[in-house]
Amino acid sequence: MFNLLHVINLGAAADDAPAIAAQLGEAGKALLGVVTCVAGATLPHAFNGAHILWRIGFATEHDHWAALSSARWRETIEPHFDRARGVTFDRIAYRSHCSDTTKRQQTNAVWRCLVLSVDAGTAAGDIAQFEKDLMVMPDHVPAIRSWALARVSASTGRRNWTHVWEQEFDDIAGLEVDYMLAPVHWGLVDGWFDPECPQRIVDPFLIHAAIPIDGAAIA
């Protein structure tokens, strides 16, 4: 699987987020090579989550590049990214190197993404330990149904993004209560993000956002 994520700021058209997300979702499903496609207006309590999250999972990286160069993309999708109308976005392409979907909730779930950038020059060993600590979380947070961790292949936007950490939950409480308040979150993982902690390696500017989904986001 090769994935493409857009975090879209609609500018003055923010009120149109649900309708535009629905249009992007339908357009994405019609692209060749698409395995999963979810889109939605960003739920409250996001950090830098803009107005819309749109995630597409392609069967191969080739399918991803073919989609971006297709006539369908130019005609039905590219107009939604018109910077002249005040639209800005982050585009992140990635292949998950570790994932687990064995506890998937099939419908009426919540998908959350954390998009981050590790400081340039961070030692490879520190990055590896950071990734291991993230992947410990599902063992201690039963509310996580499916999850995946990826190093970013290519990105444009507000940062040189390096990682995508994503999960699916039964409901928003699984994210905002079970996940966020878990001891493993505050006791093990948070130090990598905390500016007051010597082990911090993650840029304080990150994307934390979620949308409701009906069907799988992570495959």
Q: What is the pLDDT of residues 155-171, one digit of tens each?
A: 999 999 999 999 999 99
Distance (Å, whole) CA 214 – CA 199: 38
Task: Answer yes or no: is 219 within a domain.
Answer: no
User: What are the two backbone dihedrals, phi and then psi, of residue 180, each rounded to the nearest 5 degrees?
Assistant: -65, -30
Q: Say what the pTM is.
A: 0.96
Domain range holding 120? Answer: 2-213
Task: Answer yes or no: is 28 within a domain.
Answer: yes
Check residue 202 and report its DSSP letter: B
CATH of the domain at 137: 3.30.70.100
Q: Give the model's pLDDT for residue 108.
A: 85
Task: Answer yes or no: is 167 within a domain.
Answer: yes
Q: Give the model's pLDDT for residue 106.
A: 64
Is the pLDDT confidence value at 217 over 90?
yes
Residue 36 forms beta bridges with which residues?
A: 57
In the chain, what percentage of residues exceed pLDDT 90? 96
Task: Answer yes or no: is 218 within a domain.
Answer: no
User: What are the two backbone dihedrals, phi and then psi, of residue 195, each rounded to the nearest 5 degrees?
Assistant: -60, -20
Task: Answer yes or no: is 203 within a domain.
Answer: yes
Q: What is the pLDDT of residues 133-152, one digit of tens each?
A: 999 999 999 999 999 999 99
